[in-house]
Copies of this chain bind each other. A is one copy, B any other.
Amino acid sequence: MDEHEGVARMTTVTIRDVAAAAGVSVGTASRVLSGNPATSAASRERVAAAVARLDFHPNAQARSLRSTRTRTIGLLVSDVRNQFFADLAHAVEQAALAHGYVILLGNANEREDQQDRYLDTLISQRVDGIIVAPQGDGSGVIRSLLRRGIPTVFVDRTVDGIDLPSVTTDSGHGIRQAVEHLADQGHTRIGYIAGPQAISTGRERFNAYTRAIEANGLSRDPALVYFGDFQAASGSSGVHALLNLEQPPTAILAADSPMATGAVAMLHRLGVRIGTDMALVAFDDIEWFALLQPALSVISHSVEKMGREAVDLLLQVIDGGAPESIVLPSELIVRASSSTPHRPGSVSSLRKN
């Protein structure tokens, strides 16, 4: 640390310094910086030179205080460690960057109190808009968003009774395909590890499962459904509970990728061979699911597209539009974990072991 750096630490270069160095007024400097066409070539050059020489970075705080635009978008995901949301964050960030926006990322950890805390912060930061995969029933801060007219779109999930543009997946199609596929393999008892029924995707996927089970005349034994929380540990518990039944299922469908991960871990631990002793299908197509042996069958939907569309929708709302919500398709991808036809009698309950 020499004298020079010590001094620099205290000094902040402002537009006033730039104007002085360029020999123009602050107003002119500002116009050049914001690309206002009402500027002469001469001042443009001189200001640009001064900016470079002084290493000037405009104070975004001051700028947005006047212009009420921050060029910042808040993104609130349910769980960054969930690969689906990490991929979503990446997709949103790339799309936003292309439009000159940066992302303020918050992580709710699947908890409403953390979500609300971040929402408060995002409001205070005066983000131009918010993309949120919501928690809870919309009784909390989400209502504030609406009341204050802050441009907001839902992604992945929605909240009942809150009418906001959204980008979601039609989970029903993929789940129907999965159940039919499993029925074709001879499975009649299909276990289901459900997401929380307080979350729209949890409900929608569970309903789709229920309807598909009925449509295919399969067992409607309520014990075949385990209610998890979309996180890995509950997938493990779910498998444990299902295998503990008098009549365990011969196939399991997990409603998201962390729960599927937990399910795989528990099946391994219990020595149950996936694809042979137990068919398994996961909702969400995570890259490494294909690397398991046997590879995991999945219900796939495009997270990349979801992120892009969410940004498009939000930009429309910011521009005063009221765009239609978008529903993306889901599709079953059959791999080895579910493609061995079921031989009746091949699975036994843990109890009998």
Q: Which residues of A contact B (CB under 8 A)?
A: 5, 8-10, 55, 57-62, 64-65, 70, 72, 80-81, 83, 86-87, 89-90, 93, 97, 102-107, 114, 117-118, 120-121, 123-126, 144, 146-149, 232, 261, 264-265, 268, 287-288, 290-293
- A125: chain B residues at CB < 8 Å are 60-61, 72, 102
Q: Please give the distance in Å from A350's CB to the nearest CB on chain B.
A: 20
Number of copies of this chain in the oligomer? Answer: 2
Task: Give bound CA distance, A330 to B72, whole Å.
Answer: 38
- A106: chain B residues at CB < 8 Å are 93, 102-103
Q: What DSSP secondary structure best describes chain A's contact surface?
A: helix
- A58: chain B residues at CB < 8 Å are 124
- A107: chain B residues at CB < 8 Å are 89-90, 93
- A62: chain B residues at CB < 8 Å are 61, 65
Q: Please give the distance in Å from A297's CB to the nearest CB on chain B.
A: 16
**Contact between chains at A81 and B70 (CB < 8 Å):** no
Task: Give bound CA distance, A62 to B62, whole Å.
Answer: 7
**Contact between chains at B268 and A288 (CB < 8 Å):** no
- A291: chain B residues at CB < 8 Å are 261, 264-265, 268, 292
Q: Please give the distance in Å from A33's CB to the nearest CB on chain B.
A: 11
**Contact between chains at A144 and B292 (CB < 8 Å):** no
Given contacts A59-B124, A106-B102, A149 and B8 within 8 Å (CB-CB): yes
Partner of A148 from the list B8, B104, B290 (CB cut-off 8 Å) is: B8
- A232: chain B residues at CB < 8 Å are 287
Task: Give bound CA distance, A87 to B86, whole Å.
Answer: 10
**Contact between chains at B121 and A102 (CB < 8 Å):** yes
Sample of 10 A–B contacts (CB below 8 Å)? A57-B124, A59-B65, A60-B125, A61-B70, A65-B65, A81-B90, A89-B107, A102-B106, A103-B105, A288-B288
